[in-house]
Chains A and B, each alone.
Chain A
Amino acid sequence: MAVQNIIKVAARRREATLGFWERVYIFEVVRGLWITTEHFVGNLYYHILKLFGIIKVHPLTPTIQYPEEQRTLAPRLRTLHRLVRREDGSPRCVACMMCETVCPALCIKIVAAEGDKPQIEKRPKSFDIDMGRCIFCGYCVEACPEDAIRMDTGILDIAAYSREGMVLDIDTLLSLQPAQRRTDKEVDELQRRLLQ
């Protein structure tokens, strides 16, 4: 039922928006070809200018020449996890298993142990995140009562040659650093580009 309704509504919309020239079809094809050609010629022109350092920003297409060029990430974007350390360098995580429990992809595996210092009662002996399964929902960060896990490393290109290689252990997670803080100007620039 619902699907049929959607189809009906879509059909009505289509009729409402297609004007006479559009329905004639042939002119639309020509217009499409014109757009393609315009971009092709424009890109060729601007890329050559850019190649020789005559311009910095390509005004026509936003293609980013990855990996030489990296996209500026939004400050709140969820990227690869890291485990936060206390001032003395030990993990902040207390192995409460909140993140493991909430994780919908079941990719966190923690083994708890007795704390190794008198003021730390419980600590994670091992803490594995299987990045091959993670769906970047950020629930683990939300659930953590200790602010011990964050997704702010700015790392998104996570790859490995095996499934096991996608599993990050506690030492790796503790060694990761937060992404460089962006200046206000950078954020402004970023917003301008995103809103374009």
Chain B
Amino acid sequence: MGSATVKLTIDGREVEVPSGTRVIEAAKKLGIEIPHYCYHPALSIAGSCRMCLVEIEKFPKPAISCHTVAADGMVVHTDSGVAKQARAAMLEFLLANHPLDCPICDQAGECKLQQYYMTVGQYDSALLDNKVKKSKAKIIGPHVMLDSERCILCSRCVRFTDEISKSHELGIFNRGDHSELSNYPGMSLDNPYSGNVVDICPVGALTDRDFRFKVRVWYLDSAPSICHGCARGCNIRVDYLTRRLHHNDGKRIARFKPRFNPEVNGHWICDAGRYSYKTLEDEDRLYNPRVTDGNGDNPGWNAITGRIADALSSHISEYGVGSVAVIASASMTNEEMWAARQLFYDGLKIEKIAWRIPPGPDDIDDDLLIRADKNANTFGAEQIFGPMTHAADVQQVLDKIAEGKIKAWIVLDRDLSPAFGEEKIRKLTGGLKFSLYAGSHLHATSRSCRFLLPTAVFTEKEGTITNFSGRVQYFPLVVPPLGDALPMLEALSRLSAALKLEPISTDPGAVFTALAGDIAHFKGTSYAELIKRWAPISKIPS
């Protein structure tokens, strides 16, 4: 009694768990998945679906493993005849009024009803009554669609809105087989985390309006990645399409899903991050190197870097290096920042490397995940560009351009127009003698620059970013860059070669090693270790 751990036997195997652990979690520790719907480790326990029934010796009848606390000497059978029969019978209940419209259900392929039916279902239904009809394809929020017939009333979504988003939009109304999930009258499921209810809904009752009918889930591949939407750096799973590109409007990235990492984001991601995938392959992507004035449609990388090098060198010899500023994005990877520092600060001796734009008035930290800082790597920028704080603020650079002191700029993957206004940026760039933009998208800033170099978005490259708390996180390449785009590291390396400066490695691992040797915050961290530290995509679902 009162000891810190308890020992119990599950399916003949002994396991030691901290006291207070639920049987379902103890089984998970042994790699045994007990079928469940309503239980979710991040939510309170409802015990409503009864799917997790197991046989426990000396218990008079099957018990729900999500609520039963593991006790010393307990002997649990998850696979005995009693447990199996209990589960099959529960599943039959859950399916009693289920419409089984899998052919048009977006959940098909990742549906717990389908999965458990195949593994533990009772194939011959004894039910003869007509199914109860409920509302279908009902829009309950900007991102979520509800099909009440498919709902198994597990109440996970209700508990999510009560306990996690604390926005209380959902409830279960009516009684018996007329029980129905719905939003409260006059309320719409509209909170910054609403997309998560789609992930936790074990069936196809809540589906994503954005993903709806785009592509069948079994055509998708998954890769782990890190969201670049804000300074939190939530761990995500990127679901992407490499074949059958007639689906998903011909785009490769189909959706972002949260990836469990207790140290960063837990089970959730915010809606802004979830739908940020849309910008990755939109019409505004820059596909080819360009020179905006005259004879310069797609000159190719070699020609354009040569021309940039000539223009930049002659500018520097005419106006001096003090007239050049670099505006870097605080969402670049640590390695890219290091390479930019090597190229512009150490190589060209440009001292004004600006990256900071203060968050707008609407951007605030909330107490779950969202950070006011919408840059993925401000922490890294502070560490890496920090020592050269002559002009960390972009505002300073803009002021100096207005004063006429800065006559050239190099913008790395950043649109300044949302923060400073399109007109102002266009006017300022118009007065510049030299302007180069290396980045992934066409926007007011890049369109007003002379030379444009296309670079990859984060799913098209690998690297590390540092979140607001200083945690360095690795993300891999998911899909190859579109068009002629190259990862920023490679673009900087080519630029450096054209300028005949110290070569810059295009291997993020090598650059990270160099960076870790210099910057205190990264000392003692190895790239290989960061790769290993990925939270894997879990085999046993929550």
Give A contacts to B, CB under 8 Å: 94-98, 100-101, 109-114, 121-122, 145-146
Residues of B within 8 A of A146 (CB): 103
- B212 and A114 form a contact (CB under 8 A): yes
**Is residue B471 contacting chain A, with contact meaning CB distance below 8 A?**
no
A36 vs chain B, min Cβ distance (A): 53
A-B contact pairs, 15 of them (CB 8 A): A95-B104, A96-B102, A96-B103, A96-B108, A97-B216, A97-B219, A98-B103, A101-B218, A101-B219, A111-B246, A111-B247, A112-B213, A121-B101, A121-B136, A145-B102
Q: Is there contact, CB below 8 Å, between A95 and B213?
A: yes
Q: Are B137 and A101 in contact (CB under 8 A)?
A: no
Encode contact with A along B230-269: 1 for CB under 8 Å, 0 otherwise. Answer: 0000000000000010110000000000000000000000
Count of residues in B whose CB is under 8 Å from the partner chain: 16
Cα distance A150–B232 in the bound complex, in angstroms: 53
Contact B103 A114 (CB under 8 A): no
Distance in Å: Cβ of B282 to nearest Cβ of chain A: 19
Closest to A96 in B: B103
Pairwise interchain contact A121-B216, C-beta atoms closer than 8 A: no
On chain A, the residues within 8 Å of B213 by CB distance are 95, 112-114, 122
Alpha-carbon distance between A101 and B103 when the two chains are bound, in angstroms? 12
Contact B103 A94 (CB under 8 A): yes
Question: For the complex, what is the distance from the CA of A112 to the CA of B211, rounded to whole Å?
Answer: 12
In the complex, which residues of chain A have a beta carbon less than 8 angstroms from the beta carbon of B108?
96
Chain B residue at smallest Cβ distance from A114? B213
Beyond contacts A96-B103, A101-B219, A113-B213: 14 other A-B pairs, Cβ-Cβ < 8 A, are A96-B102, A96-B104, A96-B108, A97-B219, A98-B103, A100-B244, A111-B246, A112-B213, A112-B247, A114-B212, A121-B101, A121-B104, A122-B213, A146-B103
Least CB distance from B214 to A in Å reads 8
- Give B213's nearest chain A residue, CB to CB: A112
| A109→B246 contact, CB < 8 A | yes
As a 0/1 sequence over residues 108 to 137 of chain B, the CB contacts with chain A under 8 angstroms (1 = contact) are 100000000000000000000000000011
Chain B residues near A122 (CB-CB < 8 A): 104, 213
From A98, A112, A114, name the one whose CB has the most chain B CB atoms within 10 angstroms. A112
Q: Is the CB of A94 within 8 A of B104?
A: yes
Contacts of B219 in A (CB 8 A): 97, 101
Taking CB as reference atom, which chain A residue is nearest B246? Answer: A109
Residue-wise, chain B 184-227 has the 8 Å CB interface mask toward A (1 for contact) of 00000000000000000000000000001110101100000000
Which B residues lie within 8 Å of A111 (CB)? 246-247
CB contacts (< 8 Å) of B103 on chain A: these are: 94, 96, 98, 145-146
List A contacts of B216 (CB < 8 A).
Answer: 97, 101
| CB interface residues, B 84-105, toward A, < 8 Å | 101-104
Q: Which of A100, A114, A122, A145: most chain B CB closer than 10 A?
A: A122
Nearest-neighbour CB distance to chain A for B503, whole angstroms, equals 44
A124 → B minimal CB distance (Å): 10
Q: Which of B372-409 contact A (CB under 8 A)?
A: none
Kindly list chain B residues whose C-beta atoms are within 8 Å of the C-beta of A145: 102-103
B contact residues around A96 at 8 Å (CB): 102-104, 108
- Residues in A with CB closer than 8 Å to B137 are 121
Beta-carbon nearest neighbor of A146 in chain B: B103
> How far does the Cβ of B297 sit from chain A's closest Cβ, in whole Å?
30
B246 proximity list for chain A (CB < 8 A): 109-111
What is the CB-to-nearest-CB distance from B213 to chain A, in angstroms, rounded to a whole number? 4
Contacting A at CB under 8 A, from B49-74, are none
Contact partners of A101 in chain B: CB under 8 A: 216, 218-219
1/0 contact string of B134-147 vs chain A (CB within 8 Å): 00110000000000
A146 to B100, CA, bound (A): 13
Most buried by B among A95, A97, A101, A113: A97
User: Nearest chain B CB to A131's CB is how many angstroms away?
Assistant: 17
Q: Smallest distance from the beta carbon of A187 to chain B beta carbons, Å?
A: 34
Bound: A113/B137 CA distance, A: 14
Contacts of A112 in B (CB 8 A): 213-214, 247
